Amino acid sequence: MGEMRHNWTKQEILDIYSKPLMELLYEAATVHRLHHDPNTVQVSTLLSIKTGGCPEDCGYCPQAARYHTNIESNDLMSVQQVKAQALRAKASGSSRVCMGAAWRNVKDGQEFDQVLEMVRTINKLDMEVCCTLGMITENQAQRLAEAGLYAYNHNLDSSEEYYKEVISTRGFEDRLQTIENVRKTNVTVCSGGIIGMGEKIEDRTGMLVALSTLNPQPESVPINALVAVEGTPLEAQEPVSIWEMIRMVATTRIVMPETQVRLSAGRTEMSREGQAMCFFAGANSIFAGDKLLTTPNPDVKEDMKMFELLGLNPQKPFIKKMKPQSVEAADSRYQALGEKPKWSRPEHTIDRNEAAKKKSKTVK
């Protein structure tokens, strides 16, 4: 039980997902205990370093410029602002800062250099640093690694089939390519998805096939429950039930035994009992802070109370992997190459995305 496999099939994963709940929970908890300390949960703080105005059309995202949402767009934060926030996060028990920028892909230049400086700064605070900046080239991944990046997040979002129903401005293969570029460095991979976007169970298991057959498997897999934001194409989606979340977490744990399974967006809707069951089912990471990029998240003090209640301890940094060295900009071995890769633009029509775009024009 709980052996590392990279050949999971959709049917096998579907069979696991569909087991009687008590059996599924028992199996997942057993795998969890074999590979992790069940009383330790890693805590990350997500920081939106550049908010809104994104050119992509992700159907779940309030940061896409083409939809009308109540998001206030912001330019790239300064290194000092990021440092102040990281120190606050550290003081409240976070071991990792994850910086998100609403970009389609990284472009070489002053802004990326500023992000590299943020990475160096947080690394020096003895915290794990993660970035989520969109598609990146191998050279950009190397430069991030050299600055001391610990993890790069790039979600697959859903199965390859359902991805096409949510996003039309880039292809699934671009996601895989970015993950491959990160894998050429010593940066760890964080990649997961969202449930509750109207997908079938087969899409959830299809996404788990795509993630679990990566070799090595991602070190971190966030499982998000859609937070349906007004103005986005998915605004009318019904929230997923806690039972679906528990099943998804448990199945992820079983097929990716070493991975840190991350309970991500949608936690505000979950009771403590529901979250406790997710931890029992193998979730061992959360995002802290009152905001998850732009959507609400439980207050960190409430989370710490929950930890106390459940006897959970926040994981110390660099437990799973050594702290990466950070090279100063002046000593860098890598130059900006100014590459302009041709990331795909399928541009097929997604009716609900088009409708949300049209509606936005009448509101703006």
Residue positions annotated with a catalytic role: 54, 58, 61, 98, 130, 190, 262
Cα–Cα distance, 2 to 302 (Å, whole number) = 33
DSSP per position, 91-119: HTT-SEEEEEE--SB--SSHHHHHHHHHH
| Contact window for ligand SF4 (CB under 6 A) among 18-26, 53-61, 305-313, 334-342 | 53-61
For 206-357, where are the E strands, in sequence order? 220-225, 260-263, 283-288, 291-292, 295-296, 313-314
CB of 231 to ligand SF4, least distance (A): 13
Of the chain, the end-to-end C-alpha distance in Å amounts to: 55
CB of 153 to ligand SF4, least distance (A): 10
Phi-psi region of 97 (alpha: psi -120 to 50; beta: other; left: phi over 0): beta
CB of 354 to ligand SF4, least distance (A): 15
Site for ligand SF4 in 75-114 (CB under 6 A): 102
Contact with ligand SF4 (CB under 6 A) among 16, 31, 43, 64: 64
Cα–Cα distance, 44 to 86 (Å, whole number) = 10
**Which residues is 284 bridged to in the sheet?**
none
Does residue 58 touch ligand SF4 according to CB under 6 A? Answer: yes
Size of the site for ligand SF4 (CB under 6 A): 8
**Which residues is 46 bridged to in the sheet?**
98
| Contact window for ligand SF4 (CB under 6 A) among 28-36, 52-60, 235-243, 278-286 | 52-60
The DSSP H or E segment spanning 85 is helix 79-91
CA pseudo-torsion sign 43, 190, 270, 8: negative
Cα–Cα distance, 351 to 265 (Å, whole number) = 25
Residue 118 amino acid letter = M
Nearest to 261 by CA among 274, 244, 280, 239: 280
Cβ proximity to ligand SF4: between 63 and 315 the closer is 63
Contact with ligand SF4 (CB under 6 A) among 28, 31, 49, 54: 54
Contact with ligand SF4 (CB under 6 A) among 16, 61, 118, 127: 61
Cβ proximity to ligand SF4: between 59 and 282 the closer is 59
Cβ proximity to ligand SF4: between 58 and 89 the closer is 58
Does residue 119 touch ligand SF4 according to CB under 6 A? Answer: no
**Which residues is 99 bridged to in the sheet?**
47, 131
CB of 266 to ligand SF4, least distance (A): 15
Cα–Cα distance, 338 to 12 (Å, whole number) = 44
Contact with ligand SF4 (CB under 6 A) among 45, 63, 69, 153: 63
Cα–Cα distance, 182 to 94 (Å, whole number) = 24
CB of 207 to ligand SF4, least distance (A): 16
Does residue 56 touch ligand SF4 according to CB under 6 A? Answer: yes
CB of 134 to ligand SF4, least distance (A): 6
Cβ proximity to ligand SF4: between 16 and 115 the closer is 115
Residue 86: what are its φ and ψ, rounded to 5°? -65, -40
Q: Taking CB under 6 A as the rule, which mask of x and - marks residues 129-168 in contact with ligand SF4?
A: -----x----------------------------------
- Which stretches of the chain bind ligand SF4, using CB under 6 A? 54, 56, 58, 61, 63-64, 102, 134
